[in-house]
A and B are shown apart, each in its own frame.
Chain A
Amino acid sequence: DAGITQSPRYKITETGRQVTLMCHQTWSHSYMFWYRQDLGHGLRLIYYSAAADITDKGEVSDGYVVSRSKTENFPLTLESATRSQTSVYFCASSGGGEADTQYFGPGTRLTVL
């Protein structure tokens, strides 16, 4: 079924480990985004991508790495996880269509012990 999916939905890891969160969309949208949602902070942009091989930092990019070798995939890697990266992570995509609407995935709940 078409849409935007994230995997895994839940992840528990330990401090210092590398973790990769996956995001896949089937609409061939040009734009993709990663946000984190924390109590008291709302959603904050981590990284975004305007097209394959084009990425740029958002508000809270330290400690995260992204890649976009294919239009449909936008993985987010935590190179050395820290407890402060415990959060819910949302991926979104946009085709720049009506009102530049962003469509969100279901989220990944990450816990760093």
Chain B
Amino acid sequence: GEDVEQSLFLSVREGDSSVINCTYTDSSSTYLYWYKQEPGAGLQLLTYIFSNMDMKQDQRLTVLLNKKDKHLSLRIADTQTGDSAIYFCALEAYSGAGSYQLTFGKGTKLSVIP
């Protein structure tokens, strides 16, 4: 099955850029996602990228996709204390009969130092 890897922790200073990385093994996903989880809450979709794109920018967020290296990254510009959370990379995989599943990485805990 799909294997999705992320580093577990990242610490940055407020105002700096954060880069969260994700590597995966199966290249057949149509969509690749970044979810954010704040303490005690569910997951919230931050952004996604279609597999035929290399880059997507959405305000402070930039997603880069390197299909050759099977590498996905999320860059957060001007990181704020409110960005402190766990960030999950997720890939979509079809499981047959019109159904699909998401495979998640273990999550990267981003800590922003004031």
Contact = CB atoms under 8 A, between A and B. Distances in A.
Interface stretch (B10-18, B65-73, B75-83, B94-102): B94-102
Given A43-B104, A58-B101, A99 B50 contact: yes
A90 interface: yes
B108 to A, nearest CB: 10
A56 B31 contact: no
Interface of B: 1, 30-31, 33, 35, 40-45, 48, 50, 88, 92, 95, 97-102, 104-107
A58 B50 CA distance: 24
A8 interface: no
Contacts of B104: 35, 42-44
B99 A102 contact: no
B100 A100 contact: yes
Contact of A106 (B42, B50, B99, B100): B42
Contact of B106 (A35, A40, A90, A92): A40
Interface string A78-113: 000000000000101000000111111111000000
B55 to A, nearest CB: 16
Contact of B42 (A44, A58, A105): A105
A45 interface: yes
Interface of A: 31, 33, 35, 40-45, 48, 50, 56, 58-59, 90, 92, 99-107
A107 B41 contact: yes
Contacts of A59: 1
A81 B100 CA distance: 28
Contacts of B106: 40-42
Contacts of A92: 43
Q: Which one of B41, B48, B92, B102 has the greatest number of beta carbons of chain A within 10 Å?
A: B102
A107 B88 contact: no
Q: Which residue, B50, B88, B100, B105, has most C-beta atoms of chain A within 10 A?
A: B100
B101 A48 contact: yes
19 contacts: A31-B100, A42-B88, A42-B107, A43-B104, A45-B102, A48-B99, A48-B101, A50-B98, A56-B95, A58-B101, A90-B42, A92-B43, A100-B30, A100-B92, A104-B35, A104-B44, A105-B42, A106-B41, A106-B42
